Amino acid sequence: MILLVRHGETQWNVERRFQGQKDSPLTERGRRQAAAMAALVADLVHRDGGDWRLVASPLGRTLDTAAIIAAATGLSLETDERLMEINCGAWEGLTWTEVSAGRDANSRHWTFDAPGGETHEDVAARIDDFLAALPPEPERRVVLVSHGAAGRVMRGSYIGLSREAMLDLDVPQDAIFRLQNGQIDRLDCDPAE
């Protein structure tokens, strides 16, 4: 089983900026979101009783979220660069409005086209490599703390979605996803308003 968590809200999320592999701090709301997700993860991990791992992207926003989860679960924190967010190249730090000018703002299909950034195939290759290195189900028990685009790619890869369908997946910061037995379940947390 994989419990997939996206980091809590950041200042750049509020400002609608492309973060990519740059960082901005969690907001107070983001810390509350992380705490709510941590409580849900702790409940699931403790009820399961198996040997769990906690693995996060090494970026600051995921490490801050993972530290809150580690405190709630008692799990040791590992990092893996394959869980990092897409590199958005020249777009990192720019607002959605700045980047979407002249593009279909309702489509995410162009978000993997940043000058100097990673392609969908680049992100999928590293996510697939990470997934392939995990123990098989049912022995697999890992909590992953990652990002919006990377999490979409992981969920899409896990159940074999097309790129187009994967791009339409939601990326909440108040829910976790359980990937188990070839299916994905969304588990909502208590609201962190």
> How far is 57 from 99, CA to CA, in rounded Å?
25
CB atoms within 10 A of CB 139: 10
In the three-class reduction of DSSP (H, G, I as helix; E, B as strand; rest coil), residue 122 is classed as helix
Sheet strand arrangement including 77-79: 77-79, 53-56, 142-146, 2-6, 175-180, 183-188
Check if the beta carbon of residue 97 is closer than 8 Å to that of residue 16. yes
Radius of gyration, alpha carbons of the chain: 16
Catalytically active residues, by annotation: 7, 85
> How far is 155 from 140, CA to CA, in rounded Å?
16
